[in-house]
Structures are given as C-alpha cells and as structure tokens.
Amino acid sequence: MQPVELKSEPLERQSAAPLRESAAWFGIAALSLFFLATSLYISAHRLFWFDELFTVMYAGLPNWRLVSDALAHADNQTPVSYYLLMFPVDRFFGNIHIAARLPSALAMTAGLIIIFDCVRRLTDGLGGLIAVAFLTCSFLPYYGYEARSYGIYFMLGALSLWLWLHTRADRKVPAALFGLTLLVAMLVQYYAVLLIVPYALWEALRWRPWQRPSLKLIAGAVGLGAAVLLLLGQIRGAAGHNATFWAKPSPYALQQAYSEFFPSGLFLLALVIVWIVVARTDGASRTVLPMAPPEHVGWLFLTIPLAGFVVAELVTKAFVPRYFIGLLPGTALAFSSMLWRYFSKDQRVRLGIVALLASFGVYEQLQTVRNPELADPYHLQSQTHQILGMEAGLHKDGKQYILCANSMLFLDAFYYSRTPDQYAFVVVSPEQSETGTTRLLAALARYYPLHLWTIEDLRKHARESALVEPRADLLDAIRKAGIRTIIQGDRPLQTVYFEE
C-alpha cells in the first residue's frame, strides 16, 4: 500500500490578483533585506562572545585534523563539519566579525524566503508574510548575527519542510534531496536529527497494516544515518563529557524552552486576539475549513523539544532551547495556515496581524541596531571593554598578570587584548578542571597560549597579579592558602590585589 500523498493544493485558494501577489513579494523582499542588512550591521558592531570565539578560534587552526583533535578533548556540542564549513570563510576574510557571522545572516534570510514561498503556495502571499512576520518575533533574529551553526540549521529545517510539502512523494529525486538536506543539517548541528520527528509522526499517525514508509522518510532516515556514521568518532568523544554539561534536562527546562522560542509570545498573542475581536465587527457566522495535512505536519513540529527532552534524558544529558530551532519553520507554517482557515475571506484581520507581528519584529531588531550590546546574553561585552580599559592602570600598579575567575570573560579579554599573555584563568580545584567550560579552554590551550592557573601558580606571582570580578569560592580558596587579599574599590570591575 502506498503512503498518503501529502502534497496538496491550497485550501479553496482563490485566485489572487497579480497586484496582491506582487505586493506580497515586495513585502518579503523588504523584510528579508531589512533583517539581512541589520544583522550584518549588528555583526560588525558587537564583540564575539565565548561560544563564537570557539568558532573563530577552531576555524583558525591550520588544518581540520587539529580541529578534530581539539573537539575530542572537550564537550563542544557542534560537529567538526561546521568548523570545516567556516574554514574558507576564515581563510578568505580572516576572523573579522562581519565575515564570521555572514553565513548565519545569509542562511537566516534564505530560510525566511523559503518559508514565505512554502506557505504562499498553501495559502496566499499574505499568508506567507504572516509566517515570516511570526518568525521575526521569535528568537530567530538573534541567530542571524551569531557566528554559530543555528541560522544554517534553521534554513535547512525550512528547506526540508518545503521539499516534504511541495515535491512528489513517489519520486526518487525529491526523496534524495530531502535525505541530503537532513544529512547536511545534522553535519552542522547534532540535534538536527530531530527534524525527522514531525514527518515520522505524520506517517505513524496515518499508518495502516502493510503500508511502507514514504520514499522521503526512508531517504531522511538514511541521510541521518550517514551523518551519524560520519560523526561517530566525535559523538563518542562528546559522550564521555555528558555528565558535566552545564544545561541538564529537567521538566522545568522543558517548560521554559517554549517560552524562549517566543520571548514575547503571550503578549503578542493577546494583541492578536484583541485585534481579531476589534476587526471582526459584522458578527456573521462563517464556515471554518478543516485542518489540511500541511498544517497538521506543521503543528507536529512542536514535538521536537519533547523528543529532544527524551534524547537528552536518555543519551546526551544536554538540553538547550537553541538546539531545537528546527521547530520554527513548521510552527510558522501552522500558525499562518490556521489563520487562513479562519480568515481567508476577511483580509482586514490578517493584514492587521501581519502588520502587528512585523512591526514588533522590526522594532526589536532596531533596538539591537541602536545598541548591539543588547544582544549580549551574559553582559560580557561591557565587562570586556571595562577590563581592557583597566590594563594601563593595573600595569602602573606593577601588575603583570590579570586573573579572571569567569571563563567567558577570560577568553574574551584574551582574544581582544593587545597583550593576551598577561591574562590567566584561575582554576579553584580539580573538580572545576572537569567542568565543561574549563575543558573547552584546556582544549584550546593546546593550540593557543591560554594560561590556566592553579592556586599554587597564583602564590608564585601573587604580588604581580590582580584578580578581576572574583567569585566567593575562589576568594575563600585563596585565603585558605594563606594569601592575603586586598579589595580595590575604585575600578569599573571589582579588583583584588594580593600579599603573601
């Protein structure tokens, strides 16, 4: 028995006037160009932070074998193939900010256009714009100016959805392209393996005895299996560090994940509902169209974090919302398709919704354009500028070494300082040396002159050292070691001098 044919024509789609379709294409061009341009502007005006520094520093190693070796000694959750993708970018442009983030900006923009076309074919141009506006209100724009793999992961998730919905289910070439898309997606992010979940669920919910899986589902499974084989060595290496990963799965983390996908989601939903009530004043009863297969598949994308939670509990022990960014394409399609079913004959409602969502997304992006430091999740940019500004004063006080207790601040200061050799990261105990971020630094220290100090190293250079932004446990350990601490209170960041 052949699988159910998923590709379908739009629900009672009315022939749209050429002007209306042209306006929709103008709208997507304007939105996509706006987010591309602003992403590049933000990229050029914010510092790299901890995770991004690993991208540029790994990509800057002489060859891929060194990258693979470095990743084998750390619990980095990004496949080596992503860093190989960044190799030519580093070689051609160098590790300048805008170049390292350019692949993410381009991929995010391409993903928006793919989703627009995917939804437009099922509803109309306005429906495609609603889906894109919906995405601009998610956490997606942030990953358009990050030198990490998530923008590319999103684009490939959008492409897989387009291929699933808009190509023949019984043809081998579309199936092969679908499988190749999932293979490449997993090569840039391990958790892209979960992209197959909504498609597999769709077929499972409609399975009948003796019905074989579709060619696309088989090709997708083969593609993911091939990716696993290609990455098997790194997967095995990462498995040894799972127990100490910083973001463990928990029911609370699962609940919070959905909020992180759409940080202002509840607020926007309230505004949308209010607009629907205000805009629909005729009170006429309307027939609601049934949910079509594409929308059904789109809503099933909401199960990706649930599947990720199970995988994290049983295997990876790592649960971070950004790992499930593949949820966004299907959710955007389903949201827009639902509005089409209810309001296909009430353009005013849908025009108001697209205006509301697009305005909010543009406003949020402009806020970051005005102040790129708003995009800093850990306030590292301001602290990095502060510690770099303190260097001259510390040197005048006879301090040759600047110590950091925060691994993220240490790496940022090391990377941007003109005298990086003066920085050291202080490890309090053997237990701390086994934490994820310390192992990441230790892996990089094999190829870059990163200084990881113990308390004994500090004792040898106490008088020539200054500790910036100390943690309480580190200060306690230093005092227990018999080293006297002197708090300096007149600097941008709390600073500690030492006397034996």
Are the C-beta atoms of 288 and 354 separated by less than 8 Å? no
SS3 per-residue string spanning the chain: CCCCCCCCCCCCCCCCCHHHHHHHHHHHHHHHHHHHHHHHHHHHCCCCCHHHHHHHHHHCCCCHHHHHHHHHCCCCCCCHHHHHHHHHHHHHHCCCHHHHHHHHHHHHHHHHHHHHHHHHHHCCHHHHHHHHHHHHCCCHHHHHCCCCCHHHHHHHHHHHHHHHHHCCCCCHHHHHHHHHHHHHHHHHCHHHHHHHHHHHHHHHHCCCCCCCCCHHHHHHHHHHHHHHHHCHHHHHHHHCCHHHCCCCCCHHHHHHHHHHHCCCHHHHHHHHHHHHHHHCCCCCCCCCCCCCHHHHHHHHHHHHHHHHHHHHHHHHCCCCHHHHCCHHHHHHHHHHHHHHHHHCCCHHHHHHHHHHHHHHHHHHHHHHHHCHHHHCCCCHHHHHHHHHHHHHHHHHCCCCEEEECCHHHHHHHHHHCCCHHHEEEECCCCCHHHCHHHHHHHHHHCCCCCCEECHHHHHHCHHHEEEECCCHHHHHHHHHCCCEEEEECCCCCCEEEEEC
Angstrom distance (rounded) from CA 419 to CA 401? 10
Provide the whole-model pTM.
0.91
User: How high is the pLDDT of residue 231?
Assistant: 87
CB burial readout 221-243, b (16+ within 10 A) else e: bbbbebbeebbeebbebbeebbe
For every one of its 500 residues, what pLDDT tens digit does the chain have, with 9 covering 90 and above? 334 445 444 444 544 455 578 899 999 999 999 999 999 999 999 999 988 998 888 888 887 778 777 776 666 678 888 988 888 887 778 778 999 999 999 999 999 999 999 999 999 999 999 999 999 999 999 999 999 999 999 999 999 999 999 999 889 999 999 999 999 999 999 999 999 999 999 999 998 888 899 999 999 999 999 999 988 877 776 665 666 677 789 999 999 999 999 999 999 999 999 999 998 766 555 678 889 999 999 999 999 999 999 999 998 888 999 999 999 999 999 999 999 999 988 889 999 999 999 999 999 999 999 998 878 777 788 889 999 999 999 999 999 999 998 889 999 999 999 999 999 999 886 566 556 678 788 888 888 999 999 899 999 999 999 999 888 888 888 998 889 998 887 677 889 998 86
Cβ density class 110-122: b for 16+ within 10 Å, e for less = bbbbbbbbbbbbb
Per-residue pLDDT at 11: 45
CA-CA-CA-CA torsion sign (454, 385, 151, 99): negative
Q: What is the pLDDT of residue 27?
A: 95
**Per-residue model confidence as pLDDT tens digits over 85-123:** 888 887 778 778 999 999 999 999 999 999 999 999 999
> Rounded to a whole number, what is the distance in angstroms from the first to the last CA of the chain?
81
Q: Are 60 and 99 in contact (CB under 8 A)?
A: no
Cβ neighbours of residue 121 under 8 Å, at least 6 residues apart? 10, 165, 166
CA gap 186, 183 in Å, rounded: 5
| pLDDT in the model for residue 382 | 87
The candidate with the shortest Cα–Cα distance to 492, out of 388, 398, 344, is 388
pLDDT for residue 17 = 52
* Per-residue confidence (pLDDT) for residue 497, from 0 to 100: 92
Of 225, 79, 216, 101, the residue nearest 159 (C-alpha)? 216
Query: Token digits for 142?
Result: 């942030």
Q: For position 242, what pLDDT does the model report?
A: 62
- Residue 315 has a pLDDT of 87
